[in-house]
Structure 1
Amino acid sequence: ALHKQSKLNREKVHLWRDSLRLPCHPLKECIKIWPQKPTRYREIVAAYSIEAKKLGLRILELLSEGFGLGSGFFGDKLSESAVLLLNHYPPCPDPSLTLGVSKHCDPNLLTILLQGDVYGLQVLKDGEWIGVEPLHNAFVVNIGHQLEIISNNKLKSAEHRAVTNLKVARTTAAFFINPSDDCIIEPAKSLIGTDESPVYRAFKFKEFLLNYIYMEGNFEKSVEPFKLHG
């Protein structure tokens, strides 16, 4: 689905981008609804999606081993679904009035971001926005909300945003690895120490995603309904 940010009067922050969302699961079925042009688009983007998924699963497997969760912990429903989001940020006449993407954390499990060669990504650290310069032949890996929850806050999802550029267009490809809608998300029991309690209750991923969308990606409001108190 192609989206244009045009409803400026409704936005708290004016967003300056076009985006194309490509569902990738199941790939053989999803590819049928992808654009057919330019030539070989489906073939090339499908190949990229397959390799991005492999990379993400390898990272998840290494995290699983590092936490002592055992091989395959993040397999099956926890990493079943995937979406590729292509963002294009045209040159903006006045970048001070716009953002490419407003402040948020990713709601999924893990994100593999291809930045391209143009700067635009910023990460919030200690109350300040830190620029993430693009590196040639490198990806940015973002921890999503679900990985933070499963780790019982041992891993942190970073708030980030995209800024616009006066003279140069920027195009990025973000590959999101998601749980299935009915996947039960909860802190891994083996990651809850004897002197601590689970921070979150169990819930279905779809429940979280609906609240995340309703809260427009607000960091605290997105996770608050799923926290255990007391």
Structure 2
Amino acid sequence: MELLSNQPRYDTVPDKYIFPPEKRPVNNVVNPSINLPVIDLRGGCIDSDIGRDEIIRDIMKAGKEFGFFQVINHGIQAKTLNDMLQVCENFFKMPAEEKKRYYSDDMSRAFFLNSSTQYDQSETRYWRDYMRISCYPIEEFIDQWPENPENFRAVLSEYTVRVREIASKLLKLIAEGFGLDRDYFCGDLSNGTKMKVNYYPPCPDPSLTMGLLPHCDRQLITVLAQGTAACGLQAKYKEGWIDVKPIPNAFVINFGHQLEIITNGVLKSVEHRAITNSGAARTSVAVFIMPDMESFISPAKEMVNEENPPLYKSFVFKDFLRIYTDLSAKRVDVMEAFKING
């Protein structure tokens, strides 16, 4: 079992984590002064009409320009968020023997632990351990989650419910913004929920390695808690990258490939990556809201007309996942595979 978290500190970067020069992170952040938009959800009470139109406009503007934004005053208590980050950190700190039984690369398991990434098949490894968790419906998967740390299941259950509530509200606002039925994304299009918990230990030389490859999420929408220990997430912006600076108790929201296809390319699934740092371990929790495997995906008919013909083919979601994996999560290749006349 090869996990970075089994060793508390590294003095040098092992050779297998050193990327060739052309793939190393470079100082190509477009402008340190450019920040993602921050949207105030007003305590999560966005079912009323008060301020609703303004929030919708802010989401649409941020989505079209960046494909990313952060939300504050979202209605989830700071304790719920902090408990989730803490219990995940505690999991990675457990003894190697305790974690060993969860180590796997079997994607069909409801919970497994691994390192690096399953998408990039090069010999160089990414500076990351991760848990992959199927988490909704909770009653279907809870017995397959670890019992330790002792409060892991209780914290994960509560967190899953609360994050799904945020995602549901955001999807309703997005639907309204496009003139779709408010419940357009409810049901089959958002029934699935998976979670990926990433652990990036301090790296002796962050210039040599990467935490995670540039990629776009394959799902509908992602709700990410990145903690405040260090800045590590970067989003593609124009010809470079911008730092997604941590904000206490905020969530980072980004759109997946499915939302780009359903909106016929109006909202973009934007590439993002993780870099490392030498000062502190960093933990992030990404919750992916996704369609059922047998869901039929296509551009919404309301998004298509003579001036805006459909840009993407129709498909079954499970077929998209297969192609996404076969193409190593590379944005250009994945979207080209589903473009009409692509």
Q: Secondary structure at the match of 2:292?
A: coil
Q: Secondary structure at the match of 2:136?
A: coil
Distance 1:229-1:170 versus aligned 2 partners, 3 A rule: same
TM-score (norm 2): 0.65
In the TM superposition, residue 128 of structure 1 has moved relative to its aligned partner by: 0.6
| Residue matched to 2:252 | 140
Aligned: 1:129 with 2:209? no
In the TM superposition, residue 129 of structure 1 has moved relative to its aligned partner by: 1.2
Give RMSD over aligned pairs: 1.7
Q: Secondary structure at the match of 1:229?
A: coil
Q: Deviation per CA, 1:183-219: give whole Å up to 9, x if none.
A: 0000001111331210011100111111111111100
Give 2:212's aligned amino acid.
V
Q: Deviation per CA, 1:62-113: give whole Å up to 9, x if none.
A: 0011111112100111001000111000011121121111100000000000
Unaligned stretches of 5+ residues in structure 2? 1-111
Aligned: 1:221 with 2:333? yes
Q: Percent identity?
A: 42
In the TM superposition, residue 10 of structure 1 has moved relative to its aligned partner by: 5.2
| Residue matched to 1:188 | 300
Q: Is the 8 A contact 1:13 1:99 kept in 2?
A: no
| Residue matched to 2:264 | 152
CA distance in 2, matches of 1:129, 1:13: 22
Give 1:105's aligned amino acid.
C
Q: Secondary structure at the match of 2:202?
A: coil
| Residue matched to 1:22 | 133
> Higher strand share goes to which structure?
1
Q: Deviation per CA, 1:31-58: give whole Å up to 9, x if none.
A: 1111101122101111001111110011
Q: Which runs of 4+ in 1 moved over 3 A?
A: none
Q: Deviation per CA, 1:107-133: give whole Å up to 9, x if none.
A: 000000001002001011111111111
TM-score (norm 1): 0.95
CA distance in 1, matches of 2:148, 2:181: 43
CA distance in 2, matches of 1:28, 1:10: 34
The residue correspondences of 1:1-230 to structure 2 (distance < 5 A) are 1-5=112-116, 11=122, 14-117=125-228, 118-229=230-341
Q: Is the 8 A contact 1:119 1:132 kept in 2?
A: yes
CA distance in 1, matches of 2:340, 2:237: 26
In the TM superposition, residue 13 of structure 1 has moved relative to its aligned partner by: 5.1
Q: Which has the larger radius of gyration?
A: 2
CA distance in 2, matches of 1:10, 1:45: 31
CA distance in 2, matches of 1:55, 1:158: 21
Give 2:252's aligned amino acid.
V
CA distance in 2, matches of 1:10, 1:84: 22
